[in-house]
Amino acid sequence: MLMLLSPAKTLDYESAAPAVKSSRPRWMAESAKLVDQLRSMQPQALSRLMDISESLALLNHERYKSWTEKPSAKQVRAAMFAFDGDVYDGLGAREFDQEQITWANKHLRILSGLYGVLRPLDQLQPYRLEMGTRLSNERGKDLYAFWGASIAASLDQDLKGHSNKILVNLASEEYFSAVRENQLKAKVLHIVFQESKGDAFKVVSFSAKRARGTMCRWAIEHRLETIEPLKSFDRDGYQYCPQASEPMRWVFRRRL
State yes or no: pLDDT of 199 exceeds 90: no
% the chain with pLDDT above 70? 100
How sure is the predictor about 198, in pLDDT bands with cuts at 50, 70 and 90? confident
How sure is the predictor about 167, in pLDDT bands with cuts at 50, 70 and 90? very high
The 10s digit of each residue's pLDDT in 14-52 is 999 999 999 999 999 999 999 999 999 999 999 999 999
State yes or no: pLDDT of 161 exceeds 90: no
The 10s digit of each residue's pLDDT in 82-98 is 999 999 999 999 999 99
The 10s digit of each residue's pLDDT in 55-68 is 999 999 999 999 99
User: Three-class SS string for the chain?
Assistant: CEEEECCCCCECCCCCCCCCCCECCCCHHHHHHHHHHHHCCCHHHHHHHHCCCHHHHHHHHHHHHHCCCCCCHHHCEEHHHHECCHHHHHHCHHHCCHHHHHHHHHHEEEEECCCEEECCCEEECCCCCCCCCCCCECCECCHHHHHCCHHHHHHHHHHCCCCCCEEEECCCHHHHHHHCHHHCCCEEEEEEEEEEECCEEECCHHHHHHHHHHHHHHHHHCCCCCCHHHHHCCHHHCEECHHHCECCEEEEEECC
The structural domains of the chain, with segments of one domain joined by +, span: 2-254
